Amino acid sequence: MENRTQDGDDILIKSISTAIMKAVLYICITIVAGMLFSTCKIDANTISECESACEKTGIQEVTSTSCECFPIDNEIGSPFVL
């Protein structure tokens, strides 16, 4: 009788763990899909504004939330470089 209970418990544990793993997998897939579809929202206006702001040094990176220009090179340079 105890062996039957143990078999039933094993099946219950396997069923619950399978359900949890599937839920975690579906949540991860949903998060990754959402990230892929939401990061491609850079319009031409954003790029043109970034080009005009970085016309002297050039654009390093443009995202939907930021614009980074290349740093301005100092003609003096670092005093510690030979």
Q: Is the separation of the CB atoms in 43 and 62 below 8 Å?
A: no
What is the chain's length? 82
8 and 34 both lie in a single domain: yes
Give CA–CA dist 70/12, Å, rounded. 59
pLDDT tens for each residue of 7-56: 888 999 999 999 999 999 999 999 998 887 775 678 888 889 999 999 88
26 and 58 both lie in a single domain: no
Domain that holds residue 13: 1-40
pLDDT tens for each residue of 59-82: 898 887 889 998 877 555 566 766
Question: Is 79 a domain residue?
Answer: no
56 and 21 both lie in a single domain: no
Q: Is the separation of the CB atoms in 59 and 43 below 8 Å?
A: no
Question: Is 82 a domain residue?
Answer: no
Give CA–CA dist 20/15, Å, rounded. 9
